[in-house]
Structure 1
């Protein structure tokens, strides 16, 4: 019987560009998918974008676009390109605006409705616009739902409700009988604590006259489906629409962030139970990525990590490895560029890359670039090597991914020590010790083969390149449990690139250093200083994406008596065509700057709303291009 693994990463809400939290989650899920493939599982991995709801309709309006065009842009131009760059190995990318998903949602809604678990009622309560759901006073901290930027509002409306409370006793018992369902265990305990009190019924629709952007309720076209009832079903609709639901669904793992625990651990199981569908096998919950000082990251705090910049600087494998190696799944973890540099230099360049370079040099010099006969399988290094897969499997099953990587790196370090102790350069001086020399070199190559497979889920491109530099191809995890599978007579390439070039660490400024920098008292400027800024009305005559930067737009502006070219970081909020013809406010006397190879002759003004969406500033009345803003 074949081993089967189905995994989803949370589908991303398509109202803004991806941030480091999105990237972290997809890298965790990608690691698990790759590892299970290496371990012989028939694996299917799904992610996608959640594209309906009130927030998206509002973000589209702010961008001057229809919702469908807006989500097309966010999904196809922002999320999917960065996941392709990251080598995220999903098998399907499900979008909730797709016809296949819409059809499945309406089928499940009808099934739950026919079971008597949906009713129509009027409700008044606190409504979180940020989370798009009604909330209770108990959920608020300081009057705000954690994760929201503004307090909930009092709202009264008639909606369809799902009888969620009906299933609370069943869910409590199920969680007690299946302690492995939610991992790490702290989150299972958190859910059980939630379920000690009544959870109420779940509003699953919104009036179409208020929120037109959603999947229509199949028996009432004046209502659209509430975003969570829509989005959660994407995990199942991906399989059902491909005709493989029965095969994969019983083996489902969901990877999510802790901020969406309740919908996945309470809403989702009760929905599945009502619809007569099996529950998922495991819910894997990760923590947040924090700034190095332990603070929450955010654009307004100036400490956010741009994943595109991270990839440009360090490459795919270093980003994957550092995020997995320096975080503990389930906990919040500080992260910054200095961590990537440290891991790249110490683990990847020094330990792994240097060992590869050493053994290649010696094979070319002492063996003519040809791999000798296998070394004995009873050495300590060989025994340690064939046991590595089993140790790594245990850590992965326990979701201690950082320890799985550390175990593999410890083996690489033992190979380095083995070389230093065996001194093959001395053995090469004595022809009588040729067999000893060959055994040492074969042992290192075979050890690197084993280590590269153990690390491959975290090094999606470099593990293969490492083996290619030794003339080797792909192997399964099971094939690392046998010593001697690197074929005798393999000829290694004469040339091979340096896998991990070392980088100079650029330390982050300390608070003490920042305090010494000259600052204006209280951040105030004089009227004379402000008068130096020249603001002009400018009309956008052309706008296109920057050829080298996903987050930049290149705008050509009519400023009255001439045109200007301005580069602006607003691509995640505006499609280029939506800005053509609009009038903006330009800082006209700013010194030109070159941004990713293109000169910017000024800056356009923009603000940020409570949800973090950037909105360009436009004159209230129709002023001519070039008009001075006072």
Structure 2
């Protein structure tokens, strides 16, 4: 990997009519962690998130609440979506809203270029439409209704009746891109990850692609089509463009050239839009396709995918109020294999908080800082000669750092954390085996005591750097307690790919007292 390369990464832009649940939080902290890792590695990292604010569903919700669509989305974004980023300690570089003028004018420019290239035509369309999905449904997602909806066709995702729409629309010649898309998946096998997602996309495209309706004329809450303002862009066709308009497409060509193409992290339910329609749109516009699309799994609660309609959505702040944002980030990024479905339960979060964070990482930090304070007056001691057990710790740190970087490169944050955690486990065992409290009673063992505690302090220095993209708050506290702010500079400025080197923390560095990083949670009866 070369330092300084562009690393542009996006979350999906979220539909703000639903309040954020932990599924949205999961996607966002995953992307934030990847961006932080690359930023700290010296790459030219840029993270974009935002909200998708057009469409019929939004217009209907605004009308039901007696306000204009713009007033409605302004309220939702301000009251629910901006606070989510603060709650979860997300350091995004930009937040794009599809109602912003910068997005609307650039989106029009994009579609005008596709129209000018001959990939758009006028036609008539009749199909079953789900307002919840904002999508004309394929046959595979239409089922016969039951109970009160007997005799009707319903959406397999929302279990609500579909609306038969007949409109004059504009169509994008998606069918012309079937062979080019299949060649893309073949030539860049990691374009869609994980492999299960790639296989699904390839199978879908091999069945044949139909041209895509890209406009709506029955309502006006959307971006007017530049060559026919009686139509607005279909919401998905507008929303996907944020990834390009947010980094300067159509207005700031230098920034666009610097950032584009990027990586998209999405939930698997919107994979086809990102891995089929979006690259075809880019091909039609003569632009580079994304570097890759990573589809993560669903978060299941009680065995079901979270949704507002089924009341299984859990607000992230309810977890953060109890456990803190670092624990939220750590739990979801380590407990679930990134790319697969994962189940959430309070019991599992609570157990991992206690075992891995409080008793594992937190206790290691507290013990080490306290012993340096007690036995060396709060100054990091000068190590003596290293023995085999000390060198084994050094190798653990070096290997963990290298493996974590390699895993982050594959978007496997869970594997990266597992590698980093070997340092926590090895150091805790090292303290137990070397018994610094016993060494401290024997003046002839003073140099050995210094070596043991230096090894622990330097291991913690590496842990703070490696874990800071995952848990920015607790690692910053640890960094300050190690005295590393003064000795080495800000934690965010430490090169993460060099974290596995040894003897970075200078002997003599003055430590500070450390309050418990992960305080005990009082369990309610």
TM-score, normalisation: structure 1: 0.77
Moved more, 302-311 or 315-324: 302-311
Secondary structure at 1:169's aligned position in 2? helix
- Relative distance call for 1:435 and 1:312 in structure 2 (3 A) is same
Do the aligned partners of 1:322 and 1:339 also contact (CA within 8 Å) in 2? no
Contact 2:23/2:306 (8 A) holds in 1: no
State how far apart, in whole Å, the 2-side matches of 1:204 and 1:297 are: 29
* Aligned match of 2:520: 502
Counterpart CA distance in 2 for 1:138 and 1:301 is 22
Assess if the C-alpha contact under 8 Å between 1:342 and 1:505 holds in 2: no
Aligned to 1:222, the other structure's residue is in SS state strand
Question: In the alignment, what sits opposite 1:245?
Answer: 256
Q: What's the offset of the Cα at 1:126?
A: 1.8
- What is aligned with 2:66? 64
Distance 1:108 1:115 in 2: 11
Aligned to 1:486: 505
Matched with 1:407 is 419
Find the counterpart in structure 2 of residue 539 from structure 1: none
- Superposed, 1:47-126 pairs within 5 Å as 47-126=49-128
- 1:185-264 → structure 2 map (5 Å cutoff): 185-207=195-217, 210-240=218-248, 243-250=254-261, 252-264=262-274
Q: How does 1:94-493 map to 2 (within 5 A)?
A: 94-141=96-143, 143-207=153-217, 210-240=218-248, 243-250=254-261, 252-291=262-301, 293-299=302-308, 301-374=310-383, 379-473=391-485, 474=491, 475-493=494-512
User: Which secondary structure state, in structure 1, belongs to the residue aligned with residue 158 of structure 2?
Assistant: coil
Q: Deviation per CA, 1:291-318: give whole Å up to 9, x if none.
A: 1x32333456554322121111111101
Change (3 A) 1:29 1:265: same
Going from structure 1 to structure 2, the CA distance change for 1:86 and 1:179 (only over 3 Å counts) comes to: same
Query: Aligned-pair RMSD on alpha carbons?
Result: 1.7
Query: In the alignment, is the contact (CA less than 8 A) between 1:338 and 1:506 conserved in 2?
Result: no
Spell out, residue by residue over 1:407-449, the C-alpha distance to the aligned partner (whole angstroms, 9 max, x if none).
Answer: 2122111101101111111111111211101000000000011
SS in 1 for 2:71: helix
Equivalent position to 2:25, from 13, 23, 26: 23
Determine which structure has more spread, i.e. the larger CA radius of gyration. Answer: 1
Give secondary structure in 1 for the equivalent of 2:208.
coil
Counterparts of 2:307 and 2:45 in 1: how far apart (Å)? 35
**In structure 2, which of residues 45, 48, 52 is the aligned counterpart of residue 46 of structure 1?**
48
Alignment of structure 1 residues 588-607 onto 2, 5 Å: none
In structure 2, relative to structure 1, the CA distance for the partners of 1:266 and 1:58 (3 Å cut) is same
CA deviation profile, 1:105-158 (whole Å, cap 9, x unmatched): 010011000000011111112222222222232333555444333132221110
Distance 2:290 2:452 in 1: 48
Whole-Å Cα distance in 1 between the matches of residues 374 and 461 of structure 2?
Answer: 20
| Residue of structure 2 equivalent to 1:615 | none
Among 12, 17, 32, the alignment partner of 2:14 is: 12
Q: Distance in 1 between matches of 2:154 and 2:418?
A: 40
Instruction: Rate the CA distance shift 1:298–1:127 in 2: closer, same or farther, 3 A.
Output: closer
Q: How far does residue 325 in structure 1 lie from its aligned partner after superposition?
A: 1.2
Secondary structure of 1:174's counterpart equals: helix
Q: Shift of residue 336 of structure 1? A: 2.2
Q: Is the partner of 1:443 in helix, strand or coil?
A: helix
**For the residues of structure 1 that align with 2:197 and 2:142, how far apart are their CA atoms?**
19
> Which shifted more, 356-365 or 146-155?
146-155
Which position in structure 1 is the counterpart of 2:147? none
Is the 1:13–1:50 contact (alpha carbons within 8 Å) kept by the matching residues of 2? yes
Counterpart Cα distance in 2 of 1:86 and 1:217: 37
Secondary structure of residue in 1 paired with 2:247: helix
Question: d(CA) in 2 for partners of 1:133 and 1:312?
Answer: 36
In terms of fraction of residues, the more helix-rich structure is 2
Shift of 1:487: 1.3
In structure 2, relative to structure 1, the CA distance for the partners of 1:376 and 1:343 (3 Å cut) is farther
Tell whether the 8 Å contact from 2:18 to 2:308 is kept in structure 1 after alignment.
Answer: no
Q: How many angstroms apart in 1 are the aligned matches of 2:52 and 2:385?
A: 55
Distance 1:115 1:302, change over 3 A: closer
Q: CA deviation at 1:376?
A: 5.4
Residues of 2 paired with 1:121 and 1:146: CA distance?
27
Residue 523 of structure 1 aligns with which residue? none
| CA deviation vs aligned residue, 1:237-267 (integer Å, no higher than 9, x gap) | 01015651101113x1101001101111111
Question: Which structure has greater strand proportion?
Answer: 1
Checking the alignment, whether the CA contact within 8 Å between 1:305 and 1:336 is kept in structure 2 is no
Is contact 2:87-2:317 (8 Å) kept? no
Matches of 2:465 and 2:439 in 1, distance apart? 29
Q: Secondary structure in 2 aligned to 1:290?
A: strand
User: Aligned pairs, how many?
Assistant: 502
Question: Which stretch shifts more, 260-269 or 397-406?
Answer: 397-406
Q: CA deviation at 1:387?
A: 2.0
In structure 2, C-alpha distance between the alignment counterparts of 1:304 and 1:74, rounded to whole Å: 17
* Closer/same/farther in 2, CA of residues 11 and 229 from structure 1, 3 Å limit: same
Residues 90, 384 of structure 1: alpha-carbon distance in 2 compared, 3 angstrom cutoff: same
Offset from partner CA, 1:543-602 (integer Å, 9 cap, x none): xxxxxxxxxxxxxxxxxxxxxxxxxxxxxxxxxxxxxxxxxxxxxxxxxxxxxxxxxxxx
Higher relative contact order (CA 8 A, sep 6+): 2
| In structure 2, C-alpha distance between the alignment counterparts of 1:47 and 1:458, rounded to whole Å | 18
| Deviations 1:280-301 (CA, angstroms, capped at 9, x unpaired) | 011010111111x323334565
Whether the 8 Å CA contact 2:322–2:521 is kept in 1: the answer is no
Q: Is the 8 A contact 2:362 2:518 kept in 1?
A: yes
| Structure 2 portions without partners, runs of 5+ | 145-152, 486-490
